[in-house]
Chains A and B, each alone.
Chain A
C-alpha cells in the first residue's frame, strides 16, 4: 500500500472507528471532568438570584433533530428553576415538534417536584408566527395564549395573573435551533429589555456570540458542552439534583456522559485530520521530487 492510497481509505473504516468511539463511553462511562465557562455560569448565577416571586419563560424552539443536545439542557434548567420554586411559563415557537418536546420534558421533570399546574408552571403550547407572537406578548401574554397546550382556558389560572406581559417576566430562556433564538435576542431583549438566555446546538453557537457580546443575551449555552456545564453547576449546588443525575437510567442520557462520547469522537476526527494532512504533505513532497 503506497502513501497516496491512504488518502482514499475506505470510508467504512472511518465509520467503524467513529462507531466504536461512540459506543465505548456509552457502555463504560469515563467521567471526564467538565469545567463551566462564563457564558453558562451567567445563566446559573441569574437564576440563583431569583425566587418564588419571579416568572421565567422557557421556550422550546427546537425539534427532535436537536434533542440529544437540547433535552439535557432543558432538563438541567427546569430542575434548577423548580428547585428555586420559580414560576415557569413553558411555550413553543418551533413548528416541527417544539410542543411535543415541551410536553415530554415537562412530564419527565414535573414528577420530581411538588408542583401545581397553573400555579407553579404552565405549558402554553405552540403558537405559529414567531416574531409576531413575541411582539404581541409584550402587550398581553394571556391574549396570545387564551388556551394552554391541552386546549384548557388559561383564564383564571393564577400563574397567568403573574405573567401578564414582559414587564412581569424576569428572564426568557430559549432552547433554540435555527433562527428563533436570534429573534428573542434582537426583538424581545432589544425592544422590550427582557433578559434573554439562549441554549442552542453547538453548530449554531458561533452566531450567538455576537448577541452575547452585544449584551442582547445575558448567557449562552452552546451544545452538549453547555448542557454538561450546567449539569455540573446545578449538581454541585444542589445535592438532590446531583443524586438524580447519579441514577443509572439518568446517568446514561445525561450531557456529562454525552461529553465522554463527544470527546472520543472529536479526538478521532482530529486524528483523521492530522493523519490526512500528514499524508498529503508527504505525498506532495514525493510528487515534487
Chain B
C-alpha cells in the first residue's frame, strides 16, 4: 500500500499533462491548470523541507563535534536569525526593513566576496595548469585567449577591432555546436528519466525500498 498509492498518484499526475497537451478541450485544460497551481504549492513546500534538512544535518554535526562543526554553528545561527526575521516580516513591517538590512549588509557582501575571489584563483590556476601539452590543449588555449581578449575593449584596441567578431564567431558557431549536443543529451536524459518515474520503473524517490 505504501508503495502502490504513490506509484499510482505519480502515474496519474505524470500522464495527465501529456494527455492535456494533446487534448485541448476546456474541461481537460481547466484541470491541467489546477494541477499547475498545485505544483506551485508543492514546490513551496520544498523550501521548509530544505531548511529542516539543513538544520538536522548541521545539528548532528555540532552535537557529534565532527570536523568543521563551528562552521555548522554559523550556518544554523544564520538560518535561525534570517528565518525568524523573514517570517516575522509577514506580520511586522519593521521586520521587512531589518531583513533587508541584514541581507544588504551581511549576505550580499559575503556572497560578492566569494565570487570575487574567483578572479584570484583563476589567475593562479591558469598559470599553473593551463598548458599546451598536446594539440587539443593547444586549441583550447588559443580559443580561451581569443575569447578573453574578445571580452575586453583592450583586445579590439590591439587588433583594430577584429577580436570581438572573432570571439563572437567562436561563441556562436563552434561553442553553439557543442552546447547543442550537451543540451540535447541532457533533455533526452531528463525525458527518459521522467518516463521511467511515471511508469514506476524508477522508484528511488520513494525512499529505501523497504515496505
Does B208 make an interface contact (CB < 8 A)?
A: no
A 104-119 to B, binary, CB cutoff 8 A, 1 in contact else 0: 1000000000000000
**Is there contact, CB below 8 Å, between B153 and A207?**
no
Does A9 make an interface contact (CB < 8 A)?
A: yes
Does B71 make an interface contact (CB < 8 A)?
A: no
Does A34 make an interface contact (CB < 8 A)?
A: yes
Does B64 make an interface contact (CB < 8 A)?
A: no
Partner of A103, one of B33, B100, B183: B100
Number of interface residues of A (CB under 8 A): 67
| Set of chain A residues within 8 Å of B135, measured between Cβ atoms | none
| Set of chain B residues within 8 Å of A35, measured between Cβ atoms | 153, 156, 161, 164
A-B pair count, CB < 8 Å, reads 162
Does A250 make an interface contact (CB < 8 A)?
A: no
B 55-70 to A, binary, CB cutoff 8 A, 1 in contact else 0: 0000000000000000
| Set of chain B residues within 8 Å of A270, measured between Cβ atoms | 145, 148-149
Interface residues of B in 137-171 (CB under 8 A from A): 141, 144-145, 148-149, 151-154, 156-157, 161, 164, 168, 171
Number of interface residues of B (CB under 8 A): 57
Besides A39-B168, A66-B115, A139-B33, 20 more A-B contacts (Cβ < 8 Å) are A32-B152, A32-B157, A38-B168, A64-B112, A65-B115, A68-B112, A128-B46, A129-B42, A132-B36, A206-B171, A207-B183, A209-B176, A210-B176, A213-B176, A267-B154, A273-B130, A273-B145, A276-B128, A277-B132, A280-B131
Which 6 residue pairs spanning A and B have beta carbons closest together? A129-B43, A32-B153, A64-B111, A132-B39, A64-B108, A263-B152
Binding site for A on B (CB under 8 A): 33, 36-37, 39-40, 42-44, 46-47, 90, 96, 100, 103-104, 107-112, 114-116, 119-120, 122-124, 126-128, 130-132, 141, 144-145, 148-149, 151-154, 156-157, 161, 164, 168, 171-172, 175-176, 179-180, 182-183
